[in-house]
Structure 1
């Protein structure tokens, strides 16, 4: 593969870096302040942010919009995975930045799912406003009562009732469900418990205002509630939706999940590389500005070891991410499954280690909100669970490797 960025990617990268410098980094404090101000003055932290809504049109005007969605007439600006990777990495340096470019999870995965598997009526109703950035969405798979790392365990029932389906179940850690702009869920549940193991599950599109849906509470991550995005516990009680909202047909849910999670996983990894890169930058700047025991910290051997190790591991993670992206573009997600699994293990682990070193370099300030490191550490730690825990991916890698030897 050619490791040089394409001409189009390079041009977009230059434009994106300038946008980050002008509009994103200077507003990191303003983002947090607006969330807190909503809580004080409007009675709820769970409100859309004027900052985000102000920046979205600017990003769209500059052509930095929907870059994640390749091969779609609805988003002709969408890039191949290999071209998108360095851009997604840059967006990942600030947790809320991807939304400004309409490239944030779980909307990206849901838009890809609707583009690939939904009928035209559902696309008009939900994909179009998502692509315009007018609404948000959520993906409801994880459940509190089963080990959801094995998707065949999902217990939520989706039962046919004439021209409709009835949904009953209990979900949690449903990212994005706290946002008042969240208008639609894609729900995974079981339509036929007696079918073959991987043909029991189905996915269905559920408008968020359908009667019977209760958002029970937001679930904080290490104390962070991630308002106004959130990760929520939800109950579905006799939720009735039209049969036409079923994606592909009954029993196709596991198949859709595999198609959805491949791009979702590598997008997480692209952003994780950006998180690690920024943590290293902050660490180096801090170490160069502090003196202890008569020496600048950056001159001390232990910190040089950590800086060198961070650079080696970040570049390793980036190169494996690019390889996985290249294979997804050229031979397809199925044939890239080993590389996707490997990078899903490696990238969040590298980011977590570099964040930990950066926090240590900042001393007590590193665990405060004076720097973005503590929040990034908390958010990144979830990636070792999201879209499949490390253990599941390591098992998949081992199975593929063992298969090579008979």
Structure 2
């Protein structure tokens, strides 16, 4: 058994000065306590107890190039002497925005922010200002940040969520005012009939339909064929904006994200995480006429750290790597991720563990179920949660770090030798399961 004595002691010490002992509630979900790490390099993390972990959490997605990628570190190091924040523009913002407009589907203009949560709020505000409507339609199991306006029905208990064909909005946290629920319509995902019915029930009220183009947080479920195109067309029919939350999928499912992968273009798209390979950066990209409400209608968006020198430098360096040789790093990432997905599915079958591995090679999840792979949130929560937790704990003892949902993020640093090591560890774990 691995020792976590130093992490346990440091967690107890930290709780005396840091609320809850962590800086994000998501970090509570660790075994045996929130672990403390001293260093990350490539695909590995090193904790205070000297344990080495092959990391498939990757900061919940940002570290697309692995931890401390040298080209990004070098670019940021060079930028440090230039300053950090000026409350003014820098030429790096111009260069990055021009590159993103050339690259991203439907991106006529972009606006930078610092976190995915605030970029989602910006997109929602833009949609409301542009349409003159108040309501946002979102989907069960889709996570769009922890704000009052967005943290609704992200992981609702099914005994509170209402019927599957007409879910009720469920606040995700104490302290959220009931008033925000009235501005939110919730729908089941991956079913065009349900979306059509929800839009008809709220005809003329929906400013925007907000979704993860692949449901990552609620179960790594891809869209059904034709679903995204159908959702876009329903938005147009009802005068609502189609909003894609690519905070996770952007720059992870490919250089141009999920919209390009699945062949659909949103009116506005939100990006964060992988865009700066670990440095804090988010953005909203999309139609010029919608984005111009920032100027034409005086829609407020601000942020002291928006466009800061280091994040701009990191993103430019990351794009250099990701775009090199027409995105060659993605071809390797797809190949290795596919091999890992197939290997895990074969191990589960060999050891007679009922499991489905689904998602995309750069982000997928192992669902412990004898039934079909989940296609929406309610399918996902019906899977065996206890077995997923056991899988997480047993893998950690073998030096493999995944989250408690048994979700895998891959980076370009996960080479073939690391995939081999991961599958060897998973073989032992599946035998125990």
TM-score normalised to structure 1 length: 0.28
Return the structure number with greater relative CO, CA threshold 8 A, min gap 6.
2
Which structure has more helix as a fraction of its residues? 1
